[in-house]
Chain A
Amino acid sequence: MLIKDAMIRDVSAIFEDEKIETFIRISALHLRHVLPVVDEKMRIIGIISEDDVINETIPSYFGLLQSASFIPDTNQMKRKLSEIKDEPIGKFINRNVITIEEEDTILHAADLLLRHKFMNLFVVDKDSRLTGIINRSRILLGVLQEVLEEKAAEEK
Chain B
Amino acid sequence: MEVLTVTLNPALDREIIIPYFEPNRLHRIFEREKMNLSPGGKGINVSVILSEWGIDSVSTGFLGGNIGRMIEYEIHRRYRDITTSFVHINDESRENIAVLDECNHTITEINEAGPTVAEHDVTHFIKVFRSLVDYPKTVLISGSLPYGIPIEMYSTLTRIAHEKNTEVYLEARGALLTYSVNTHCADIVRPDLRSDTRIFGKELETMEDYIEAGEKIIEKGAQMVVSSFEIVNDIVFTKDGIWLLSLCDPHVDPSHLLGSGDTYMAAMMYFARKNGPDLLERAKFGMAAALAKTKYLFKKSPTIEEIEEALPKIQIKKIKG
Interfacial residues, chain A to chain B (CB-CB below 8 A): 8-13, 15, 18, 22, 25-26, 29-31, 38-42, 129, 131-132
Interfacial residues, chain B to chain A (CB-CB below 8 A): 58, 64, 69, 72, 76, 80, 82-90, 120, 124, 127-128, 130-132, 134-135
Q: How far is the CA of A26 from the CA of B86 in the complex (A)?
A: 11
B156 to chain A, nearest CB (A): 16
Contacts of B131 in A (CB 8 A): 13, 15, 38-42
Q: How far is the CA of A40 from the CA of B128 in the complex (A)?
A: 8
B160 to chain A, nearest CB (A): 11
Q: How far is the CA of A10 from the CA of B80 in the complex (A)?
A: 11
Q: How far is the CA of A11 from the CA of B131 in the complex (A)?
A: 11
Contact across chains for B135 and A10 when beta carbons are under 8 A apart? no
Can you add 10 more A-B contacts, CB < 8 Å, to A13-B131, A40-B134?
Answer: A9-B82, A11-B58, A11-B85, A11-B132, A13-B85, A18-B124, A40-B131, A41-B135, A129-B135, A132-B83
Given contacts A40-B130, A40-B134, is CB(A10)–CB(B124) below 8 Å?
no
Contacts of B82 in A (CB 8 A): 9
* 9 closest residue pairs by CB, A with B: A29-B88, A9-B83, A30-B88, A11-B85, A42-B131, A10-B84, A41-B134, A40-B131, A15-B127
Contact across chains for A22 and B85 when beta carbons are under 8 A apart? no
Contacts of B124 in A (CB 8 A): 18, 22, 26
Q: How far is the CA of A39 from the CA of B131 in the complex (A)?
A: 7
B136 to chain A, nearest CB (A): 11
Tally of A-B residue pairs with Cβ under 8 A? 55
Contact across chains for B84 and A11 when beta carbons are under 8 A apart? yes
Q: How far is the CA of A10 from the CA of B132 in the complex (A)?
A: 12
A139 to chain B, nearest CB (A): 16
Contact across chains for A11 and B134 when beta carbons are under 8 A apart? no
A105 to chain B, nearest CB (A): 18
A-B contact pairs, 24 of them (CB 8 A): A8-B76, A9-B84, A10-B76, A11-B84, A11-B85, A13-B131, A15-B131, A18-B124, A22-B124, A25-B120, A26-B87, A29-B64, A29-B89, A29-B90, A30-B88, A31-B69, A39-B131, A40-B130, A40-B131, A41-B131, A42-B131, A42-B135, A129-B135, A131-B83
Residue of A nearest to B79 (CB): A9
Q: How far is the CA of A9 from the CA of B57 in the complex (A)?
A: 11
Contact across chains for A13 and B83 when beta carbons are under 8 A apart? no
Residue of A nearest to B1 (CB): A131
Given contacts A22-B120, A26-B124, A129-B135, is CB(A12)–CB(B86) below 8 Å?
yes
Residue of B nearest to A27 (CB): B88
Contacts of B120 in A (CB 8 A): 22, 25
Contacts of A40 in B (CB 8 A): 130-131, 134
Contacts of B89 in A (CB 8 A): 29
Contact across chains for A42 and B132 when beta carbons are under 8 A apart? yes
Contacts of A131 in B (CB 8 A): 83
Residue of B nearest to A38 (CB): B131
B133 to chain A, nearest CB (A): 10
Contact across chains for B130 and A12 when beta carbons are under 8 A apart? no
Q: How far is the CA of A32 from the CA of B30 in the complex (A)?
A: 37
Residue of A11, A15, A30, A31 touching B83 (CB-CB under 8 A): A11
Q: How far is the CA of A132 from the CA of B76 in the complex (A)?
A: 11
Residue of B nearest to A132 (CB): B83
Residue of B nearest to A28 (CB): B88
Q: How far is the CA of A26 from the CA of B130 in the complex (A)?
A: 18
Q: How far is the CA of A1 from the CA of B282 in the complex (A)?
A: 39
Given contacts A22-B120, A42-B134, is CB(A13)–CB(B128) below 8 Å?
yes
B128 to chain A, nearest CB (A): 7
Q: How far is the CA of A30 from the CA of B178 in the complex (A)?
A: 35
Q: How far is the CA of A18 from the CA of B72 in the complex (A)?
A: 24
Chain B CB count within 10 A is highest, among A9, A22, A25, for A9
Contacts of A13 in B (CB 8 A): 85, 128, 131
Contacts of A10 in B (CB 8 A): 72, 76, 83-85
Contact across chains for B76 and A9 when beta carbons are under 8 A apart? yes
Residue of B nearest to A43 (CB): B131
Contacts of A38 in B (CB 8 A): 131
Residue of B nearest to A42 (CB): B131
Q: How far is the CA of A41 from the CA of B86 in the complex (A)?
A: 17
Contacts of B58 in A (CB 8 A): 11
